[in-house]
């Protein structure tokens, strides 16, 4: 099986920034909670440059107290 092409999922609307700001967290703080050295990946996810792995998305849903579907509104329809 060939690897997944994630490029077509760039730009899928998300509510990552809104959830983070609602909780009063910086990108750096969320990055550290996820085990990253800074908030670089958080910025890329929020801007739709890349999408997080399933594990990172699940962790974000726990941090923000919302479902993965709430974080990525149209991802399921984009995958279909």
pTM of structure? 0.84
**Does the residue 4 lie in any domain?**
no
* Predicted local distance difference test score (pLDDT) of residue 65: 97
**Does the residue 21 lie in any domain?**
yes
Terminal-residue alpha carbon distance, the chain? 18
**Does the residue 9 lie in any domain?**
no
Helix ranges (DSSP H) in the chain: 16-22, 27-33, 40-46, 54-64, 68-71, 75-79
Label residue 41 by pLDDT band (50, 70, 90): very high
Higher pLDDT, 20 or 8: 20
* pLDDT exceeds 90 at position 13: no
**Does the residue 5 lie in any domain?**
no
**Does the residue 2 lie in any domain?**
no
Task: Kindly report which listed range (7-16, 20-29, 38-47, 63-72) carries the lowest average pLDDT score.
Answer: 7-16
**Does the residue 56 lie in any domain?**
yes
Q: What is the CATH number of the domain that holds 40?
A: 1.10.260.40
Q: How many domains does the chain have?
A: 1
**Does the residue 55 lie in any domain?**
yes
Instruction: Please give the residue range of the domain that contains residue 42.
Output: 14-79
């Amino acid at each position: 099986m060939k690897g997944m092409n994630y490029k077509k999922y760039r730009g899928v609307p998300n509510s990552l920034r809104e959830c983070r700001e609602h909780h009063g967290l910086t990108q750096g703080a969320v990055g550290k909670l996820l085990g990253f050295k800074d908030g670089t990946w958080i910025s890329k996810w929020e801007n739709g440059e890349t999408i997080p792995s399933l594990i990172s998305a699940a962790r974000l849903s726990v941090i923000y107290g919302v479902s993965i579907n709430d974080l990525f509104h149209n991802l399921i329809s984009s995958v279909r």
